Structure 1
Amino acid sequence: MSRVLIIAEHLNGQLNGATARCVSCAKSLNAEAIDVLVLSDAGQAVAEQAARISGVSKVLVADNAANAHAIAQVLAPQIAEAATGYSHVFGPSTTFGKDLMPCVAALLGVAQISDVMTVESSHSFKRPIYAGNAIITVNAPSDKAVVATVRTASWPAAESGGSASIESISLKTGLPTHTRFVSLQQGKSDRPDLQSAGKVVSGGRALGSAENFAIVYSLADKLGAAVGASRAAVDAGYVPNELQVGQTGKIISPELYIAIGISGAIQHLTGIKDAGTIVAINKDAEAPIFEIADFGLVGDLFQILPELEKEL
């Protein structure tokens, strides 16, 4: 039987919703146990949140001052030690997980499986390649631990209502000192988090400037939505790169995705394949985005958006 260890992603005492999506993936294994590991300097609050996820058997808390900030080179040796006895070690395919899990795989001497979107069996998984245009089946060695990142856009968040036990553990492994925390630079916003938002409004290069991007922010605020952007808009300096949606940005699965002035390059479409309803606004009737949009409106976004906001 499979025993799964899930690495909790958290920040400022709040558990990231990606962790509950990893639990959903682990449930597909019909695992004997699904445990969550919280690495922090004071992880009790995060552990309590993780314990409420339905399907979680136990939450392990490893408090250490060195874990105050999520540095992959510091967390990975601890995870490798804690993974003893587990058949699977899962992390979310977020910025956090993409940074951390390859280090864990290396320490455990296995090849990481990236972006698990379907579980075929305990050691067989499906994942996208070629910007999501093809799906391949990856078979992991059955005699070794499976280290994988979970494509969170492909899995629903496990429901709350669980009551898992919480256990403090002490990890003895030596921690490296060659990597240290300097500072965290992140945008401050009252809007929903892009990765987990139910509604997202994104803008593209057609906005023309950072100043013009204000109309995207305004519409998002009306809808209570998160804000995203295409790579072209990010590269042009209209918005910071943490808002980028797509193959080299964030992979998201909102219920509603509104693409404004985005042509729909294949790399961008990869990031929104799992969105519920896609709405596209673009003056180019031949833009690729219309091929996947549920609703499309051809016209000048600078005329359409003020009218749309007025109606809202």
Structure 2
Amino acid sequence: MIKHDISKYKHIWVFVEHENGEVARVSFELLTKARELAKDLDCEVHAFTVGDKVEQFKDEVFKYGAKKFFIIEDPILKDYMTEPYRDSIVYLIEKYKPEVVLIGATTLGRDLAGTIATVLQTGLTADTTALDIDPKTKNLLMTRPTFGGNLMATIFCPDNRPQMSTSRPGVYKAIEEPVKGEVIKEKFEFDKAKYTKKILEKIIEEGEKVNLGFYDIIVSGGFGMGSKENMKFVQELADVLGGTWAASRKAVQAGWAPQTRQVGQTGQTVHPKIYIACGISGAIQHVAGMKSSDVIIAINKDPEAPIFELATYGIVGDVLEVLPKMTKMFKEKLGKA
């Protein structure tokens, strides 16, 4: 890997992911985080994307604080394909030289980020759960779980630019901060002869799709619930509180809940106002996905469970006895009895 003249690179860029005319929420989350990082770097936050008709996203992008919105529009970019997206984005990055590039760690983002970093000969830290700026070196500090989630590693890229990271959806809150931004349109000449792939058909996957990040209250069940049948107690409390239910990795692996409801390193990352952990020990894999919740209530019969170190409030007891009583109490308090 060659070293870059890092003095030529400036500003933070956030990739605006979109599908079927809608922007992925992780893009707004990253724009919010980028504003925080930009204060430490004394730079601006810019957004960028490519597609067929993407200028339509400008109002949403400016609502979340991007000062500039770099775009390339072309019919070949209507549907996502790795190679044309890669080539057009590499063109933008090489021309404008952003110091930091942030991309959502979605299926699309994970595919795209790796191939971009390879062409640019720069580093990429995937699936990060924290981003900070080193006060001395001004390098981007990218933290992610490693060794199966048993350790947290902080990685930086001192000699090459841009510094690239994919961040998991739900790690940061999307907070509006409207600005009057500028759209910058670029043209890119595609060598269509080298693109041998074609999209023959798009199949929309059916089944339950849950974005846990949209809920203020989440009641989550772990392996301590004992069985799939007992997960009904988690669901009942969530319904009474007007929230939704979730599960730990062990509960999902046991077949007690669908993977779409998994919270943790290999599931969704959430930050609700209230997170109730039921029969969850507090393994680092799970904590990585919910530690930023405003209030954490833990229910576990083991007083030494690690989850209590993180919890705002803790209840030591049998979750199968505590949950029905909590549900009954809230039904009465909320007039739902």
Name the TM-score class by shorter chain: 0.7 to 0.9
Q: Is 1:204–1:260's contact at 8 Å kept on the other side of the alignment?
A: yes
2:5 corresponds to: none
Structure 2 residue 47 is the aligned partner of structure 1 residue 36: yes
Deviation at 1:230, TM superposition (A): 0.8
Measure the CA separation in 2 of the matches of 1:73 and 1:307. Answer: 56
Aligned equivalent of 2:104, options 92, 102, 115: 92
- Give how far 1:186 is off: 5.8
Using a 3 Å threshold, how does the CA distance of structure 1 residues 43 and 280 change in structure 2: closer, same or farther?
Answer: same
- Partner SS, residue 302 of structure 1: helix
Q: Letter of the aligned partner of 2:63 in structure 1?
A: R
- Once the two structures are superposed, residues 262-281 of structure 1 have per-residue CA deviations (whole angstroms, 9 ceiling, x without a partner) of 22222212222322221112
Q: Is the 8 A contact 1:17 1:196 kept in 2?
A: no
**TM score, norm. by length of structure 2:** 0.76
1:171-206 deviation per Cα after TM superposition (whole angstroms, max 9, x unaligned): 3334644474643426446x7x22454432211223
Aligned to 1:117: 131
SS at match of 2:212: coil
1:299 positional shift: 2.9
Q: Return the alpha-carbon distance in structure 2 between the equivalents of residues 72 and 310 of structure 1.
A: 52
Q: 256, 260, 267: which is aligned to 1:249?
A: 267
> C-alpha distance in 2, partners of 1:157/1:306?
34
3-state SS in 2 of match to 1:250: coil
CA positional deviation for 1:74? 5.1
Deviation at 1:117, TM superposition (A): 1.7
- Residue-by-residue CA offset, 1:98-153 (whole Å, 9 max, x unaligned): 343122211222121342521125434242444374453523315x3222224666
Counterparts in 2 of 1:14 and 1:58: CA distance versus 1, 3 Å: same
The answer (yes or no) to whether the contact 1:234–1:244 under 8 Å persists in 2 is yes
Alignment of 1:8 onto 2:26: no
- Do the aligned residues in 1 keep the contact of 2:252 with 2:262 (CA within 8 Å)? yes
Distance 1:69 1:243, change over 3 A: farther
CA drift of 1:159 comes to 2.4
Partner of 1:50: 61
Amino acid corresponding to residue 266 of structure 1 in structure 2? I
Contact 1:123 1:141 in 2 (8 A): no
CA contact (8 A) 1:94 1:250 kept: no
Out of 84, 92, 95, which is 1:82 matched to? 92
Where 2:49 maps in the other structure, the secondary structure is strand
Q: Which amino acid aligns with 1:185?
A: E
Matches of 1:65 and 1:238, distance apart in 2: 44
Q: Say whether residues 1:171 and 2:192 are aligned partners.
A: no
**Offset at residue 86 of structure 1 (A):** 2.2
1:44-101 deviations in Å (ceiling 9; x for gaps): 44332112112x1122344445545555555333322222222232113445433431
Shift of the 33–288 alpha-carbon distance from structure 1 to 2, 3 Å rule, reads: closer
Task: Decide which of 280, 284, 287 is 1:269's aligned counterpart.
Answer: 287
Whole-angstrom distance in 1 between the partners of 2:224 and 2:152: 29
* Per-residue Cα deviation, 1:209-248 (whole angstroms, up to 9, x for no partner): 4454343333323333343211111112222222222222
By percentage of residues, which structure has more helix? 2
Q: When the two structures are aligned, how many residues end up with a matched partner?
A: 308
The reply to whether residue 239 of structure 1 matches residue 257 of structure 2 is yes
- Pairs within 5 Å for 1:119-268: 119-120=133-134, 121-130=137-146, 131=149, 133-134=151-152, 136=154, 138-142=156-160, 144-150=161-167, 155-174=172-191, 176-178=195-197, 180=199, 182-185=202-205, 187-188=207-208, 193-195=211-213, 197-268=215-286
Structure of greater Rg: 2
Q: Please give the root-mean-square deviation of Cα atoms over the aligned residues, in Å.
A: 3.1
| More divergent stretch after superposition (220-229 vs 273-282) | 220-229
**TM-score scaled by length of structure 1:** 0.82
In 2, are the aligned partners of 1:58 and 1:166 still within 8 Å (CA)?
yes
Instruction: List runs of 5+ in structure 2 lacking aligned partners.
Output: 1-8, 331-337
Q: Could you tell me how far apart the structure 1 residues matched to 2:251 and 2:300 are?
A: 15
1:233 and 1:219 mapped to 2: Cα distance? Answer: 17
